[in-house]
Structure 1
Amino acid sequence: MHSRFEFISIIKKRTLGLTFILGAASLAFAQQKTPVSGTVVGAQGATVPYASITFTNGTDKINSDAALTDETGKYSLTLAPGSYSVSIEAIDFKKTTSTLIVTTSAAVKNFDVSTETSVTNNKTQDIEGVVIVAAAPKPYKVELDKRVYDPSSDLISKGGNLQDVLSNVPSISVDTDGTVSMRGNTNIKFLINGKPSALLGIDDGADALKSIPADQIDRIEVITNPSSKYEASGTAGILNIILKKSKKLGFNGSVTGTLGYLPQTSLNTNLSWRKGDWTYFLNGGGGYNRSKSKSIQQYQTLRDAGSLKNFDLISRSRDQQSKGEGNNYNATAGFNVDLTPKASVNASILLRTFDYTSDEATNIFENNFLGADLGGNFDVTTAQQDNGKRTNNSYQVDLGYDQKIGDKGQLLSISGSLQNSNGNNNSTSNINSVSTKTNIINIPTRTITNNLIYSSTDNKTYLGKVDYELPLGEISKIEAGARYDFTKNTYDYTVLQSINNSPQRPLSNFTSNTFYEEKVAAAYAQFKSKIDALGYQLGTRVENTAIDIDFKNNGTGDRVQKTKSYTGFFPSVFLSYDLGKNSQFLINYSRRIQRPRSFFLVPFNSYDTRSSFQGNPDLNPTYENSFEFGYSLSSKKLTFNPTLYYKKSQDEVNFVQVPVKGADGITAIFTQPVNAGSEENYGLDLNGSYDPYKWFRLMGSVNLYGYKTTGSFQDFNFAGNGFSSRIRLTTTFKPDKDTSFQFQGSYRGAEKSLSNNRKPTYVINFGASRTIMKGDGTLAFNIQDIFNTRAREFTTTGADFTQYNYNQFQPRQFSVSFTYRFKQGEKIDQQKQKKDINNDYSGDQDQDPM
């Protein structure tokens, strides 16, 4: 941060000097000038970007001039013939003076500068022990096609994981079970560094989010309406998690250790080493944590006595207590090397391992209708003990090549990725059922069932992409590219059962093998430019999807083979109008697709004594048209971004739920996804932050949204509408320059549809931090869910039943973490001073210190 402000100071000084010189030169008689160009080079031939070069004419000051090197260390200007004294200044380099004789012939003059080593000359690493009250980063900023969240000032997630960070991101909500939604929609496409990643796995859900430490996250890009450059998948939008990569000289890094309750320990580190043209990095860590949860379920039939049949379920109450413990470890290592000033290669490898052991105790009480002629109702009490273990091992290898073409900003990027995720989920279920109607001889008084469930998945993904950028002058650019994704998943599922100590036997409906392949070929092109205050970006994308499913039930011999193929075009339009004073209007449109998850397409039955899920191979993708109109204001103290949005989808995926009575007389809720009708979503998404004082900040996120569903499937009607809200407010204040406190409150309003009615919830969190050891260390403390209110409570209503559910997946938690930073050098890359046509209005250079 210090380097940045020192750099800005130098630029301002040189800009004033350059303005004065050019103003004087404009009064002089026109004189023939000679082109002069070259490069400023530092140690080991490395170029020096954004160096300030002053050419002072020894005879006539009017002929003096100045220049600034670009990001590649190059400069160019025209000078009148004569003798010049040359002065070169750059951050972390000694001030260098030289002479230059300019003739009437074009000249190429390179300059060498030496790395600063004198303490008296204020080299940046010489003053790193000095505490500087610098500007805090804006936590949230708006760009033309995305919103960027910086978690560095987020105290509540310190020592936590990606799930904790996402709980604070504007427009994003995280449910109690780890389900992430964007503006109320869960169809989000997750990316790591711009690509799908094995770090998140395929179907790991909340487990995957918890495997990425918060300390490894640099920023999160919230793309609510992606442009054609991004893949079209995800009707809610895209969340792109950017992990940290240091660009500092020498050896740098940080280590963070965390202790918490429920028992939680973790140790994570981010290391980098830059020398010459090579940069190496290593991010990794791991941790252990315990968890516990509880759920309550109450079922009640809506059928009258006259329509009940023998052994029909009348009511059921289910109480489940769960606990578990898990370990997760991950490591990412890689390098970047500048082959030439215009070409670079980057490579990385990621390894991740995760295991979780669970222990669940469930008590079920059921009242069944037996029939008046058989003696009336009877009750069944069931005690169930489940023990399971989930494991996942993943790796990912990435390789990229970047080539700058010419001197006008052309860029060609080629990258490839190989990913593999292998998971196993094995569990044992011991069920002890007792009937309390013992006078009915044809009903067993006791049944002891032992189930062994084995499932495994193997997911492979191959990805290749190429992107090209062609600037057209200062304000226009063409972007184009192509991409190919190939995914291959293998699923194996087996259930063995023993009743009353009989030999284990496989259940025919729950023993299967599945092969799933998905190929997506895509190409895109988009053009961006600006006419006065109007900026625009127009693009289109075409994607072809081919899916093959081969499902075999090993018990019954049934086999389902399905091939699906479809092609879609996905245009996007982005408009911005600059109102001045760091404010603008934003209007955009895009067409999106939500491909069914592989799990939704595979027709196997998942086993549970009281509920079951079966995929539907006939599912089609959901297409959506999305519109947004927003306003963005970012000043010294205020960031304000309200957005009105409207989305309409077709072939929406809904879930059919019906009670089904099994051969053992037990009634279970059967669920299957189907395409049924359309859905409309509309609302106001309001995000902003306000810094009324240097020591105080308010940050808020409000989403007021409505929804309307139309459509039906067979006898099921999915028509319904409703309105809900999600509100989050975070306050941060600093009693002194080394101490920070943060409170956060979030509220999720009630939601009601035709079949579900969810009650409102609220959560309050707290965080604090203290900088110690002259800025090299930070102590942090946080409490998640102070009042232990984070739970989900809803009621599902079917055609002839109602079911109440209460779920709390994690009780109140707290943790203490310590971060130690060590560094040898400051950043040597500087921000571009040229304003891009799609530059954001974050007001970074006008921030108040926090």
Structure 2
Amino acid sequence: MIAQNAPVKISGKVIEGTSQQALEYATVKLLHAQNDQLITGTTTAADGTFTLETEAADYYLEIGFIGFMAKTIKDFKITNGSVELGNIALSEDTETLDEVVVQGEKSQTVFKLDKRVFNVGQDLSSTGASALEVLNNVPSVTVNIEGQIRLRGSAGVQILIDGKPSVLTSEQGNALGTLTADMIESIEVITNPSAKYEASGTSGIINIILKKEEKRGLNGSVTLNTGVPNNHSLGFSVNNRTEKFNLFSQLGVGHRTFPEQYKNINRNLADSTTINSGGESEKNETFFNVILGTDYHINPQNVLSLTGSFAYELETEYSDTDFSALDRSNTLTSQWNRNEVTEATNPKYQYELQYKKNFERHEDQMLLFSAIGSFFGKDQSSEFENTPLSGEEALSGRQLTQNNFQQGEYTFKLDYTHPFSDRITLETGAQYLITDVSNDYAISNWADVRWVEIPELTNVFDYNQKVLGVYGTGAFEGDKFGVKLGLRLENTDLSTLLVDGNQANNQNFTNLFPTVHTSYKVLDNFSMQAGYSRRISRPRLFDLNPFFNIRNNFAISTGNPELMPEYTDSYEVNGIFDQWPVSLNAAVYYRYTTDVVEEVATFEDNISITMPVNVGTNQATGVEFNAKYDPTNWWSLNGDFNYNYFQREGTFETTEFDFKANQWSARMTTKFKLPASIDLEMTGNYQSAYQTFQSKVSGYLFADLGVRKKIMKGKTIVNLSVRDVFASRIFESETIQPSFYLYDYRLRGRFVTVGISYGFGKGEAMEFSGQKRF
């Protein structure tokens, strides 16, 4: 305790007592000596450092981190208005969780120079959630009912896992769903990536960081979920770390049901005839996944890691759709029912070998090499039966679709970081990514006694892409000013082949991708950042694959093997203000994109066929606000708002189109710490309507609710989550063109999940439980 009237700046570095490694996100609180009330606080940076400033007279410092014993500092030596505490070592708590006192929790969102880090552990409504649902709670990110991920309202997002590409992020079959919320440590949102990252993703990068326990000894947890509709799972996580080895594993099994209601309208404006359809579907999934891995600490400077994961899904899907045909006077002419039974198996596996070398010369000097192999398969068959109900033109008969999809992906990555000093750092490296796919698909009609394939809807689609990238970045970081310059070169060799007919599409191109990032510390609690990057969005496999989806054979979707990549120049300026208990981030951004990919519908014989096509250019100008306010130690508020105005220009089938439109989204989350160790979280989300090349997509408002109760002094946690409380998250779109009108409506409904998690050893109970996917 001290007595001091002049402002005092307090700084230090928090480290782990045993390993002397920096502790990121440690909680630092400055408290009144007389009444223990909070004066100000912060969390430590990636290098363990922190800085506080106060004009208070009597105070003391309290530093805590989960799994470590808290430390209190009351004696300070002031020199020229500053207190330099140096290294502050925290000792690991050797007792069980019954005696652990948690001094603080990670803040939900942490802002860094070129990214924002969203810490999943604070998201109570993630009970029973999948990775896709967790992403939908991340600032700037939205996930629609189909699982499409958008960043600041734009598609073209590159999804990474632990900083590397993964087959689990493939859009085929929502493979990302094999990641459950309890596996995720944090999610990084990078709207203007540096040249170190692969240039894919015109709107930016989302990097999912998986948990890896670092505490010594045996740690683990068991998680059990149940919910409505069917949402039952069991998860098991165990870790054992010694001085040389870190062994870790995660296991999950479960069963899920995903119901959906839908409605479609196809109207031919030329002859005023209409096809209406509507019904219900149900997808059932039984899944199993396991992750096994080990880190071998050869010595303090060298670590070798080997990780493997395997997931297997059994899918059954049913849909029951009623169709009706109306003539130009809106009179019913025929009715029929279309019934679907789908069965599929989806194996997925991935393995990674990683070598990391640190150097005694400097703690940030590092060499990192990784080799990753992965596989994703889908063997699916769907049988459809049309049953006439009335009218001579009612459809009848049976159809069969068969789809055997196999994707292999191999990534080789080398990164080297060389600090010339504490202020100047050079990074360089290379990556080689190989993606090899084969999709054997067929559509058949039932002809009396056997299935007869339809030649024009049956083929084998082969896809091979190789991307070689090399990069270099140089950074200077002073006390107030920092700058990071980078350049990345990528060569893309892409080939697709439709085997029947020998239709080949080969592309080979080389691009340069410059990046610039700057920062300026105006005040201790206020900084400005600016950045520029050039990005590419290569055609997604799903967009290239010409397989026809015929669940509704009057509203068919297919891919386009001749798609070209999008290119985007992205500019951004940020202001960050952080003064306990308020933190604010405001950004202004501009993106210019060429060869924009749009879903384009064509119409013939009352059948719409939707296909992605390169259509024109897009200019988007936007503003974004993120705020966090902690009015008391038991109540916090988080808010996010994003608005962008865009201008489209282009030509489709010799017809020029230009239009201007806007879209915006908002999210508000409030959290309460209630008596009896109960936490309550409520989140409201709004997505505005927006316009596309041909269509208008309606807006929607929905809410999530989460409750958490800690018992047995934190060893056991009980969770309740209600996602889409009012069943108001609806996808609805209208396409109005001169010759046709299309309407699409889909609703998933409310999901309620209860979970319980028990932690043993030195580990803690998980803050939420795991669901496979939406």
TM-score by length of 1: 0.78
Query: Which string of whole-angstrom CA distances, capped at 9 and with x for unpartnered residues, describes residues 731-760 of structure 1?
Result: 001122611111111111121345212222
Give 3-state SS (helix, strand or coil) of 1:617's partner: coil
Report if aligned partners of 1:322, 1:360 keep a CA contact under 8 Å in 2.
Answer: yes
Distance 1:675 1:48, change over 3 A: closer
Select which of 630, 634, 637 maps to 1:698.
637
CA contact (8 A) 1:658 1:798 kept: no
Per the TM alignment, residue 164 of structure 1 is displaced from its structure 2 partner at its CA by 2.0
Counterpart pick for 2:269 among 295, 302, 323: 302
In the alignment, which of 155, 165, 186 is matched to residue 124 of structure 2? Answer: 155
Three-state SS of the structure 2 residue aligned to 1:126 is coil
The answer for the alignment partner of 2:712 in structure 1 is 773
1:311-322 correspondence to structure 2 within 5 Å = 314-322=273-281
1:406 positional shift: 4.3
Quick check: 1:433–1:447 contact (8 Å CA) kept in 2?
yes
Match of 1:510 among 439, 457, 461: 457
Please show how residues 292-371 of structure 1 align to structure 2 within 5 Å: 292-303=259-270, 308=271, 314-368=273-327
Secondary structure (helix, strand or coil) at the match of 1:199 reads: helix
Could you say what secondary structure the match of 2:132 adopts? helix
- Among residues 231, 237, 240, which one is paired with 1:270 in the alignment? 237
Letter in 1 for 2:563: L
For 1:159 and 1:613, the matched residues in 2 are separated by: 31
Correspondence for 2:574 = 630
**TM-superposition CA deviations, 1:254-292 (whole Å, max 9, x none):** 121111101211111221101121111002212111121
Matched-pair identity in %: 28
Give 1:700's aligned amino acid: G
In 2: Cα distance, 1:594 partner to 1:521 partner: 15
Distance change (3 Å), C-alpha of 1:14 and 1:567: closer
Kindly tell me: are residues 543 and 728 of structure 1, through their superposed partners in 2, closer, same or farther at Cα, counting changes over 3 Å?
same
Q: State the alpha-carbon separation in 1 of the partners of residues 347 and 511 from structure 2.
A: 34
**Within-5 A mapping of 1:186-265:** 186-205=155-174, 208-265=175-232
Larger deviation, residues 570-579 vs 647-656 = 647-656
Does the CA contact (< 8 Å) of 2:324 and 2:332 recur in 1? no
Report the CA distance shift for 1:752/1:200 in structure 2 as closer, same or farther (over 3 A). closer
1:587 matched to 2:525:
no
1:578 is matched with which residue: 514, 518, 521? 521
2:51 aligns with none
CA-to-partner distance for each residue in 1:694-733, whole Å, 9 max, x for gaps? 0000011111111221101224444222112111100001
Distance 2:209 2:586 in 1: 25
| 2:121 aligned counterpart, secondary structure | helix
Q: How many residues align?
A: 693
Alignment of 1:681-760 (within 5 A): 681-736=620-675, 738-760=677-699
| One-letter amino acid of the counterpart of residue 598, structure 1 | L
Partner of 2:486: 539
Matched, 1:395 2:338: no
Secondary structure of 2:519's aligned partner: strand
Query: Structure 1 CA distance, aligned partners of 2:623 and 2:648?
Result: 19
Residue 307 of structure 2 corresponds to residue 386 of structure 1? no
* Cα shift at 1:435: 5.8
Select the residue among 429, 434, 442 that pairs with 1:481: 429
- Which deviations, in whole Å up to 9, do the C-alpha atoms of 1:661-718 show, x marking residues without a partner? 3xxxxx3102232222101112111112110100000011111111221101224444
CA distance in 2, matches of 1:513, 1:361: 29
| Residue 426 of structure 1: how far off its partner (Å) | 0.8
> For 2:659 and 2:727, how far apart are their aligned partners in 1?
32
Task: Write 1 or 2 for the structure with the bigger share of strand.
Answer: 2
Q: 1:245 to 1:209 in 2, by over 3 A?
A: same
| Structure-2 residue corresponding to 1:617 | 561
Aligned to 2:376: 421
1:165 matches 2:134:
yes
- From 501, 505, 529, the equivalent of 1:562 is 505
Unaligned runs of 5+ in 2: 1-9, 24-45, 48-66, 70-89, 765-774
1:820 aligns with 2:767: no
Letter in 2 for 1:211: T
Conserved in 2, the CA contact under 8 Å of 1:124 and 1:825?
no
Question: SS of 1:504's equivalent?
Answer: strand
Residue 788 of structure 1 pairs with residue 732 of structure 2: no
Which stretch of structure 1 is more off in the superposition, 627-636 or 712-721? 712-721
For 1:508 and 1:540, the matched residues in 2 are separated by 48
- 1:680 aligned residue: 619
Q: Report the Cα offset of residue 788 of structure 1.
A: 1.3
The Cα of 1:546 is off from its aligned counterpart by 0.3
Conservation of the 8 A alpha-carbon contact between 2:461 and 2:546: no
Letter of the 1:735 partner, please give it: L
Asked if structure 1 preserves the Cα contact closer than 8 Å seen for 2:151 and 2:204, the reply is yes
Look at both structures and tell me which one has the larger radius of gyration over its CA atoms.
Answer: 1
CA distance in structure 2 between the partners assigned to 1:529 and 1:333 by the alignment: 39
Instruction: Check conservation: 1:159, 1:257, Cα contact below 8 A.
Output: no
| Compared CA separation, residues 617 and 124, structure 1 to 2 (3 A) | closer
Q: Is the Cα–Cα contact under 8 Å of residues 462 and 499 in structure 2 kept in the other structure?
A: no
2:366 counterpart (405, 411, 427): 411
CA displacement, residues 490-538 of structure 1 (integer Å, 9 cap, x when unaligned)? 0100112125x46421111111112110000000000111244111110
Normalising by structure 2, report the TM-score. Answer: 0.85
The correspondence of residues 64-83 of structure 1 with structure 2, limited to 5 A, is none
C-alpha contact 2:317 2:343 (8 A) present in aligned 1: yes
Task: Write the letter of the residue equivalent to 2:114.
Answer: D
Task: Verify the 8 A CA contact 2:414 2:429 in the aligned structure 1.
Answer: yes
Counterpart residue number, 2:596:
652
* Secondary structure at 2:396 match in 1: strand
Displacement, 1:449? 1.0
Counterpart residue number, 2:495: 548
The structure-2 alpha-carbon separation of the partners of 1:284 and 1:201, relative to structure 1 and needing over 3 Å to count, comes to farther
Aligned equivalents of 1:15 and 1:564: distance in 2? 51
**CA offset digits 1:175-211 (Å, max 9, x no partner):** 1222221111121111111112233345123xx3432
Shift of the alpha carbon at 1:766? 1.1
Q: Secondary structure at the match of 1:711?
A: strand
1:298 shift after superposition: 1.9
Q: 1: distance between equivalents of 2:161 and 2:426? A: 25
Choose the corresponding residue for 2:415, options 467, 470, 473: 467
Asked which structure has the greater RCO (Cα within 8 Å, sep 6+), the reply is 2
CA apart distance, 1:341 = 1.8
Contact 2:266–2:554 at 8 Å: present in 1 too? no
Question: Could you tell which deviates more after superposition, 577-586 or 331-340?
Answer: 577-586
Q: Distance in 1 between matches of 2:554 and 2:567?
A: 34
The structural deviation recorded for 1:565 is 0.4
CA distance in 2, matches of 1:468, 1:49: 20
State the shift of 1:378 in Å: 7.8
- Alignment pair present for 1:283 and 2:250: yes
Give the conservation status (yes or no) of the 8 Å contact 1:382–1:434.
yes
Asked if the contact 2:161–2:209 (Cα under 8 Å) also holds between the matched residues in 1, the reply is yes
Q: 1:530 aligns with which of 477, 501, 505?
A: 477
- Aligned partners of 1:540 and 1:529: how far apart in 2? 16
RMSD across aligned positions (CA)? 2.8
